[in-house]
Amino acid sequence: MLNRRETLKMAAAVLGAPAVVLRSQSACPAAPPAWVRELRERLEDMARELVRTVRPWSGPNRVFTPAAAAPIATRAIQKAVDEAAGAGGGVVRLAGGDFVSGTIMLRSNVALEVAEGARLLASTDLADYPDHVASRRTVMDANMGQNQSLIFAEGCTNIAITGDGVIDGRGSRANFPGKETQGATPGRPFLIRVLDSRNVHVSRITLRDAACWMQVYLNCEDLLVENITVSNEVNFNNDGLDIDGCRRVIVRGCFINAEDDALCFKGASQRPTERVLVEHCKFYTSCNGVKFGTDSQGDFRDVLIRHVEAGGTPDHLPALQRRKADSGVSWECVDGGTVENLYVHDAHIVRAKSPLFLRLSDRGRVKPGDPKPGPGRLRRIVFEKITGAEIGSRGSMILGIPERKIEDVVLSDVSFSVEAPRGAPPTESALGEMRNEYPDAHMVGEQSPAWGVWARHARGITLANVRITSQGAAGGALRHSDVDGLCGTVG
């Protein structure tokens, strides 16, 4: 006589569908695996150590005050920066009006302060942004082709961008036209670009309207971004905050509204991003609220995210493309690298088509001439105490590939209601493996095979007190195939 597992496999074979094998609740332990508690304790110890040791800018109490020269103040501001650096450090303070400028190069031991009531306005003349090509070439340079920015620093120590004023990129499509792209963005400067630097502090400042990404910190150590306000909704590829290959990072108390990814970690620097704390922030977007990827050439590990809200832009804030976020949180590993030990707790997902998205694949994007890597690893991922509102029906996804499974994923105390699906969901066979699709949640279209959780090619998934409901929807809360060791279900 066939048991239930064998019966399901035989039925799936007859129907030409992947086998969906349920593991009974009684076969699962009552609590998440022991490694979950050990990981949380270790990451909380890490957070305490980061708070104690990643400190604000500290430098000489000398103030340099350039005049708001007309029609453009680039030379005056740069002269003040150079004088401060030559004196051993100090504060370059912009106060009492508007300062129109092209590229400013920061120096070690210098803090650039835009005082309350002052504005640093980006020039709208592209000629005011000379190329600053990175000394160490990375995938970032090869992919984005972007060497221009309003503020640039490379190889610096102890620098800051601060103040209660505004830095405005004036980066509208009228001033800096360009298409929405997954590649190069020529002619559209970043607002802030900091490379290969240490002890970087960004605080209190309001950042508005970049022509492309708002800010990127690449291969930096001891990076502290706190209490900033970002509005970046005037052009395509308007990311809010990009952190690429940085170690010992704190992001706290930040409010970010961005057309593209709000908080995006990357591995294009080909350096690891590790020992990261993100807390007490709001991340709004029409793309992904919090994300690692898509570039994952460098490792990403030991990350604690807590007490955050992430998802689509609310109606009262500006939006270039008003829609639900593609995802609340996305962890994507498609270019090699190891992504591991990521813990998100006490997070609220809002206005997102897919609350959670995990993708492991083998795109293998590299610099020209470098060998393509094999698939990376995505493992030891925890989402705990996750709530949601205004959630779409595409569902959360955990998607590996047949030759490399996602490992050890825990969803614990997850609770929200989703919209009722419209129409029949796609089948797994119709979607295929999607190796050539851009690895964001929209790669499946508007619906996935499950409106709750869809898992495929994974090992060691625990669903503990996961309650996802959809009024009027029939079935489809949990679908899985080629999953070894699934404990729990979606209630």
Each residue of 60-110: pLDDT tens digit?
999 999 988 889 999 999 999 999 999 999 999 999 999 999 999 999 999
User: What class has domain 23-174+186-490?
Assistant: mainly beta
Torsion of the alpha carbons at 289, 280, 256 and 313, rounded to the nearest 10? 60
pLDDT number for residue 297: 96
pLDDT number for residue 227: 98
- Tokens matching residue 196: 């290969």
pLDDT number for residue 27: 60
pLDDT number for residue 146: 81
pLDDT in tens, 213-233: 999 999 999 999 999 999 999
Q: Is the dihedral of CA 446, 451, 457, 461 positive or negative?
A: positive
pLDDT number for residue 2: 42
Domain ranges of the chain: 23-174+186-490
CA distance 273 to 277: 11
- Inter-CA distances, 127 with 12, 148, 154, 175, 264, Å: 63, 10, 21, 13, 29
pLDDT number for residue 28: 78
CA distance 405 to 458: 5
Tell me the pTM: 0.94
Residues of the chain with pLDDT under 50: 1-26
